[in-house]
């Protein structure tokens, strides 16, 4: 079944149009209009307006029939996009290249093993509180694992409002052919002051596919057990 959120089309097209207009005007407010900030602005807007799903050309045609309400929605989106660009520009991601000078994310050609998103949580083993302000690393074959694209970081730094959660999306791995199965060994490494270093080893079984997956989906996730860090000499029960 194919389902499409037309609100996403409206938001992305509005962002592109507004950014082009700002650039033509010489960007008087000196806003950052890089790809990363545009994506962050899109997320800001999409989290604040209701979606509009269609599953057929009839649904797309019906949008044209509700002209007044759709025009109001467009006006609301334009207003929110301006707000989003200003907020994002003044709170830029510190670990992203905002110059757009870096080459785009590479999409592998041919059959690949699409590694699922890895999700886990880290806690203080003494009081079971979620950890924050510490670094979590993903390793494979003695190296830090390269991420799928620039929106994912390795190492990942835990922040207070994510309740100890960390996520990684490793880049895909080339395969000889589609529909072959292989296990890939990874390890999560966590170092934090006042705790013993944590090394958690795990294996992910993956079946190769004809091409590289470009879009993130919660259907493709590998959940780790909760990880608990203890002070030096502490017991792990």
pTM: 0.64
- Taking Cα atoms as reference points, which of 185, 30, 176 lies closest to residue 111? 176
- Report percent pLDDT > 90 for the chain: 40
Mean confidence (pLDDT) of the chain = 83
**Buried-exposed string 30-65: b where 16+ CB fall within 10 A, e elsewhere:** ebbbbbbbbbbbbebbbeeeeebebeeeeeeeeeee
108: nearest Cα among 65, 56, 149: 149
Report pLDDT digits (tens) over 101-123: 444 455 677 899 999 999 999 99
The count of other CB atoms within 10 Å of the CB of residue 190 is 23
Phi, psi of 131 (to 5 degrees): -85, 150
Answer for the pair 136, 203: CB distance below 8 angstroms, yes or no.
no
Alpha carbon distance 151, 89 (integer Å)? 16
Tell me the two tokens of residue 214: 């470009």
**Residue ranges of domains in the chain, CATH in brackets:** 4-90 (no CATH), 112-229 (2.60.40.180)
User: Given the structure tokens 């949580």, which residue do they identify?
Assistant: 121
Determine the Cα–Cα distance for residues 126 and 194; give it in Å rounded to an integer: 12
Contact between 127 and 223 (Cβ < 8 Å): no
pLDDT band at residue 175 under the 50/70/90 scheme: very high
Return the top range by mean pLDDT from 8-12, 68-72, 141-145: 141-145
> What does the block give as tokens for 39?
């994506």
Digit-coded pLDDT (tens) for 43-52 = 888 888 888 7
Lookup: tokens for 145? 């694992």
In angstroms, what CA-CA distances link 221 with 46, 186, 198?
A: 23, 15, 22
CA–CA gap between residue 43 and residue 53 (Å, rounded): 17
């Amino acid at each position: 079944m194919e389902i499409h959120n037309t609100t996403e089309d409206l938001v992305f097209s509005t962002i592109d149009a507004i950014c082009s207009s700002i650039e033509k005007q010489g960007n008087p407010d000196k806003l950052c209009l890089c790809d990363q900030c545009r994506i962050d602005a899109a997320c800001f807007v999409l989290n604040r307006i209701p979606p509009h799903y269609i599953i057929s050309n009839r649904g797309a045609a019906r949008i044209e029939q509700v002209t007044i309400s759709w025009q109001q929605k467009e006006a609301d989106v334009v207003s929110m996009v301006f707000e989003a660009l200003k907020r994002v520009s003044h709170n830029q991601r510190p670990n992203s290249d905002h110059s757009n000078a870096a080459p785009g994310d590479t999409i592998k050609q041919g059959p690949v093993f699409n590694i699922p998103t890895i999700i886990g949580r880290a806690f203080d083993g003494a009081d079971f509180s979620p950890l924050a302000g510490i670094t979590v690393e993903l390793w494979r074959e003695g190296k830090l694992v390269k991420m799928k694209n620039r929106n994912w970081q390795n190492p990942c730094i835990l922040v207070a409002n994510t309740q100890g959660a960390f996520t990684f999306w490793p880049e895909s791995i080339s395969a000889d052919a589609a529909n072959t199965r292989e296990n890939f060994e990874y390890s999560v490494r966590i170092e934090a002051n006042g705790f013993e270093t944590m090394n958690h080893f795990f294996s992910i079984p993956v079946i190769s596919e004809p091409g590289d997956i470009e879009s993130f989906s919660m259907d493709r996730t590998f959940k780790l057990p909760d990880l608990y860090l203890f002070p030096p000499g502490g017991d792990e029960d």
